[in-house]
Structure 1
Amino acid sequence: MDWIQASIIALIQGITEFLPISSSAHLLFPSLLLGWPDQGLTFDVAVHLGSLLAVVIYLRKDLIRMVEGLCQWQQQKRLNQQATLALMLIVATLPAVFFGLVLKDWIEVNARALWVVAVTTLAFGLLLGWADWRSRRQHQIAAMSWRHTLCIGLAQALALLPGTSRSGITMTAALMLGYTREAAARFSFLMSIPIILAASSLMTLELVTSAVAVVWAPMLIGLVVSFASAWLCIVLFMQVISRMGMWPFVVYRMVLGVGLCWLILPTLS
């Protein structure tokens, strides 16, 4: 992989990781349109770490408050709001981890087809639009309950299907439960931290135990580009949804889904 390929793939990963438009759908295009080979495990680790670093820095104040809340809980033996939020994030991550371990092999064999990505891109894009239109948008994260946490966590597990979009489906669920757009997005970003950390840890373990040679230049490019693009996307996304809602991304998903269907047509003839 040369530096141009590394930069473009890392840019795609960084831009699409936190937007409700599906990173898996977009990462198909380099191989489908340009014939590029799979970027490999080492590069996957680098771009995921870049995305993780971006969201951690953006949400650093929230994370510091949660750490302080957990420390206070330990000292005072009384559960507080920030410690509760931290525990909720763990609970919200469990369904995706469980179903990911159980269904990983089945998904690899049966759910990676282009038509699956096209269908999920369209279907869950429309669901996001419906949720944004119908949502009461009155709750903040402080109103998050354990029932809502579990519902959003179960929704996150659906993102195991390529094309669904982890951020898209969790924001959809939060909107359907009556949370504001900003609260839905912020909780989705918080939920991304343990799930990306878990995925990166598994990939790192696989990398360490394999005989794959590490090529450092593409990894460094991937890390830097994915970090910068992911951080910028988070900042701009929060500004866009406060003014325009989710509909720009719904429309984009419709265009993307139609484009994927167009790519499928030659294989049906």
Structure 2
Amino acid sequence: MARSGGWIPDSVDVNVPAAARVYDYLLGGGHNLDADRAVAAKVLQALPDGRQVAASNRAFMRRAVLYMLEQGITQFLDLGSGIPTVGNVHEVAQQANPEARVVYVDYDEVAVAHSQLLLQGNSLATVVEADLCRPEKVLNDPGVLGVLDFDRPIGLLMVAVFHFVGEDRKPREIVAKYRQALPPGSMMALSHLTADHKPAEMAVVVEAMKNSRDPMYFRSHAEVVPLFEGFDLVEPGVVGAPSWHPELGAQQSSPEGVYVGLGRVR
């Protein structure tokens, strides 16, 4: 059962903000609640260019998908995919290649419910409700295995997710387990918010998200780079989002605040 036009499952506590819905609001989406907008207001008060930072991250995702398609990858596993908005992975990929396959994975009930509505009738894309921090469960899910062929290269997307994963959950080990499941020639695109450029402002963001379903853990450049251990980094390496392959459509005026990179499985 669901409320409000089918996108708010009954199990959701509408008084508890969630990162997927806060991000949706910052991107200009319409699938967010009062609690999410209240948190977003605190974020924007501390970080007036917060919407631009979110858009810059979103733009990286698009460029990463296009880059992978250029390398011959036609199937994608999007972890922590959030609430689909215009220009999501399946739209970008299937516009370029109608045969592209996409599996979205998220543990947020609203994100999953809205994805199910959006993907109705699309036999090459699906959504799985699961926690990305449990790789064995994700990789063995029938929904994942029914769409993706693990004998061919896969594009793994970990976009704006690990700043919600504390060190106690061992993010490097999580990435390693996914890497080990990917065939050679696969690629991983990863982005991560940082406080390197605006430590005081980002401290306020952390405080604003502290009591949400998804508290935040910003990392420095030196802490993000090890997440690519075992991958061959694609040039220019781990850089600010605006600097990663701008020829694929970056906005040069985008603010810093997100480290991004793309690695290839050996």
Judge same fold: TM > 0.5, yes or no.
Answer: no
Higher helix share: 1
Structure number with greater Rg is 1
TM-score range, shorter chain: under 0.3
* Greater length-normalized contact order (CA 8 Å, ≥ 6 residues apart): 1
